[in-house]
Structure 1
Amino acid sequence: MKKIVPDPPAPSSRGLTAHTHFACCDGDHPPLFAVCAGAEFDKAMVHLIVMLRSAYETNLQACDTVKDNHLAGMLWATQHTLEASRALAESMMKGIEGQARV
């Protein structure tokens, strides 16, 4: 017997983003910004790394210009967190790229 309906495409082994809103101001309106659903992880990771680099560079400039020692301590703590986050994101991206080659 012949099949009339073809098999559906195989599900992608790549992860996808889920719809997630951000920058909510707890107002009476719906969120204005969101991460769209359906972007592949590797594409989303590239954007994440770019945003972390930007935050890292901006915070580093603040670290270099601040005169208040207490505030400087908080900025340097943030700097180390951004550096670790960036390293983790870049490591994950390398892992995704490595899996794609296999």
Structure 2
Amino acid sequence: MKRIVPDPPIPTPFRTHFSSCNGAHAPLFAVRADADIQDALAHLSAALTAAFETNAQLCEMLSRPLADLAWSTYQSLEICQALSEALLTDIAKKQAAG
């Protein structure tokens, strides 16, 4: 007997691997394919805040020309932090509306 409907595809358990030390070993962590976007953004925001604060301390400790590199990173982290916070706020507003 032939099946009318094929089996559904097997979901891929991981979407993105990280923490592999540039290929020195298998990845230690992965982002699940079915991760909740709001939870993922909250974790991203927390990680960016930690990186931002650490880099801010570094900017105060270094002298030029290394301080210039640290300030460049500071500005990039600030942009990423603002974007992630804006996305989280937008999601919260949409959920509250309905």
Residue matched to 2:17: 21
Within a 5 Å distance, the mapping from 1:1-12 to structure 2 comes to none
Alpha-carbon shift at residue 34 of structure 1 (Å)? 1.3
1:52 paired residue among 42, 48, 69: 48
Separation in structure 1 between the aligned mates of residue 49 and residue 26 of structure 2, nearest angstrom: 29
Q: CA RMSD in A?
A: 1.3
Does the residue aligned with 2:65 lie in a helix, a strand or coil? helix
Separation in structure 2 between the aligned mates of residue 26 and residue 53 of structure 1, nearest angstrom: 27
Residue 89 of structure 1 pairs with residue 84 of structure 2:
yes
Separation in structure 2 between the aligned mates of residue 31 and residue 63 of structure 1, nearest angstrom: 31
Alpha-carbon shift at residue 32 of structure 1 (Å)? 1.6
TM-score normalised over the length of structure 2: 0.77
Separation in structure 2 between the aligned mates of residue 39 and residue 52 of structure 1, nearest angstrom: 18
Listed as ranges, the gaps of 5+ residues in structure 1 are 1-17
Letter paired with 1:26 = G
Residue 98 of structure 1 pairs with residue 93 of structure 2:
yes
Listed as ranges, the gaps of 5+ residues in structure 2 are 1-13
Instruction: Spell out, residue by residue over 1:49-71, the C-alpha distance to the aligned partner (whole angstroms, 9 max, x if none).
Output: 1000000000001001112x011
Residue matched to 2:4: none
